[in-house]
Structure 1
Amino acid sequence: MNSKVVLITGASSGIGEATARRLAGAGHRVFLGARRTDRLATISAEIGGEYHELDVTRLESMRAFVAAAHERYGRVDVLVNNAGVMPLSLVQDLKVDEWNQMIDVNLRGVLHGIAAVLPIMREQQAGHIVNISSVSGLRVDPTAAVYSATKFAVRALSEGLRQESRDLRVTVINPGLTESDLTGGITDEAVRDAVRDQMKIAIPASAIADAINYAITQPPEVDVNDLVIRPTAQG
């Protein structure tokens, strides 16, 4: 197998952690980024990876993360733009700070990742960007208007980048209800309780990690653009 250098944002828990464990187990060299460096240190020690503190909302932090990985390995084959937040609420509640947080992490963070790796991948004439969207990027439900807006935007950005690229591969992963820490960011108690009730049918984060592994291990001429993974029981 051709071992790849894979950078993963939001790697301290949930889909990011599961992806790190899956890809490291498959022989890839993983470089983990998140704000919780204590968690990253533990995960990296367990799987044999490397890590670097990362705040995706700051371009300079993302550039430092990518530069550290490039200096360590000499190349960057895959970036998994996974970091995300989901403080759901009704639009009428006007939780503007939470709206801005979702825009900063879910969309601006993805843009920062692309900006940091694209020059390297262009120079290599090869690379793969995996953006984590959501089934909320395919449909809109009450309380998810702003969250969905950020995920629709990630899909639009990914498709535009794909069409502009001939050496670069671009994949959008759209998880349905998946076990993660995202519900912890919901400040509306009623919404949080409703979402946690829905999460009873959630699939493990390892299911999303398997999909990412599938996408990045295809032959160079095969670009897997869009994958939707949801629980069988999800409507």
Structure 2
Amino acid sequence: MTTSTPKIVLVTGASSGIGEATARALAVGGHHVVLGARRVDRLAAIADSIRADGGSADHTELDVTSLDSVKAFVDTAHERHGRIDVLVNNAGVMPLSPLIMGRTADWDQMIDVNVRGVLHGVAAALPLMKTQGAGHFVNISSTLGHEVSPTTAVYSATKYAVRAISEGIRKENSEVRVSVVSPSFVESELIQGGDPGTMAWVQGMADKLALPTAAVSDAIVYAVNQPDQVDVGEIVVRSVLDAAV
């Protein structure tokens, strides 16, 4: 098993799902985790639980659609701990619908959270990582960032963008590691909003195929714990049943 020295790891969208599972798993591994999300009460409860279990954690209110909020999240962690080792850009939304429905508010929300949210994280953390001479972005894409299905065009576009942004960071900054984790259906609160008919179908598929959040958090922990000279480029996580539907 690969081991790692303790790191300061920031996790966005940490109030539930993959973000919460990742924060808990990293804390178990000895890292200090900084939880960020809009639901402050939920963050506080998770941080308290992590500390009660012997881990190290703190939290900050965060809205990834606001550059000022993301900068405050990153800068506060840097001031408290003296460095930023890893930023897990996990926050995301998935209100799906056919393009013909023209649900532009949903499109805007996906672009704001899934793309701008990642870019805001890069803008806030990359300069600090460059100054340190080291750092690591773990960006959450999706299997739908590799293919487009009916109703997923905009969501897929945002997740393709996450992969493109990640590759740009990698090619421009040799001292900064970048890992993309692309899960399929996972137990989470992601299935919200969108066209009711579409989302009912998605929920039905998730009921059949959804993996536990630990399947993704374990992949993130694996990438974080690699030696400094090892850059895990991408991990795709899906159910073995995916190919059969």
TM-score computed with the length of structure 2 as normaliser: 0.94
Measured in 2, the distance between the counterparts of 1:98 and 1:185 equals 8
Q: What code does the residue aligned with 1:74 have?
A: G
Which of the numbers 40, 43, 66 marks the counterpart of 1:40?
43
- Structural RMSD (CA): 0.7
Measured in 2, the distance between the counterparts of 1:233 and 1:126 equals 38
Deviations 1:115-142 (A, max 9, x none): 0001110010000000000000000001
Residue 169 (structure 1) shift: 0.2
> Counterpart in 1 of 2:54?
none
Find out whether 1:195 has 2:202 as its counterpart: yes
Find out whether 1:103 has 2:93 as its counterpart: no
Which of the numbers 6, 14, 19 marks the counterpart of 1:16?
19
Equivalent pairs: percent with the same residue?
Answer: 57
In structure 2, the gaps of 5 or more residues are 52-56
Residue 166 (structure 1) shift: 1.0
Name the SS of the counterpart of 1:141 in structure 2.
coil
Measured in 1, the distance between the counterparts of 2:8 and 2:166 equals 21
Which of the numbers 173, 189, 192 marks the counterpart of 1:165?
173
Which of the numbers 147, 152, 170 marks the counterpart of 1:144?
152
Query: Would you identify which runs of 4 or more consecutive aligned residues in structure 1 move more than 6 Å?
Result: none
Q: What code does the residue aligned with 2:204 have?
A: D
Find out whether 1:135 has 2:140 as its counterpart: no
> Counterpart in 2 of 1:205?
213
Measured in 2, the distance between the counterparts of 1:157 and 1:23 equals 24
Measured in 2, the distance between the counterparts of 1:53 and 1:78 equals 18
Measured in 1, the distance between the counterparts of 2:61 and 2:234 equals 29
1:5–1:73 Cα contact (<8 Å) kept:
yes
In structure 1, the gaps of 5 or more residues are none
Which of the numbers 120, 141, 158 marks the counterpart of 2:128?
120
Which of the numbers 214, 221, 230 marks the counterpart of 2:222?
214
Residue 184 (structure 1) shift: 2.0
Measured in 2, the distance between the counterparts of 1:184 and 1:99 equals 14
Residue 185 (structure 1) shift: 2.6
Name the SS of the counterpart of 2:228 in structure 1.
coil
Question: How many residues end up aligned between the 2 structures?
Answer: 234
Residue 160 (structure 1) shift: 1.3
Residue 165 (structure 1) shift: 1.3
Q: What code does the residue aligned with 1:189 have?
A: P
Deviations 1:2-32 (A, max 9, x none): 0000000000001000000100111100000
Name the SS of the counterpart of 1:129 in structure 2.
strand
Residue 114 (structure 1) shift: 0.4
Find out whether 1:71 has 2:74 as its counterpart: no
Q: What code does the residue aligned with 1:197 have?
A: G
Measured in 2, the distance between the counterparts of 1:46 and 1:193 equals 33
Measured in 1, the distance between the counterparts of 2:186 and 2:32 equals 25
1:177–1:234 Cα contact (<8 Å) kept:
no
Find out whether 1:3 has 2:10 as its counterpart: no
Q: What code does the residue aligned with 2:138 have?
A: V
Measured in 2, the distance between the counterparts of 1:112 and 1:189 equals 30
Q: What code does the residue aligned with 2:73 have?
A: F
Residue 55 (structure 1) shift: 0.4
Which of the numbers 189, 213, 229 marks the counterpart of 1:181?
189
1:48-87 equivalences in 2 (<5 Å)? 48=51, 49-87=57-95
Q: What code does the residue aligned with 1:66 have?
A: V
Measured in 2, the distance between the counterparts of 1:59 and 1:193 equals 33
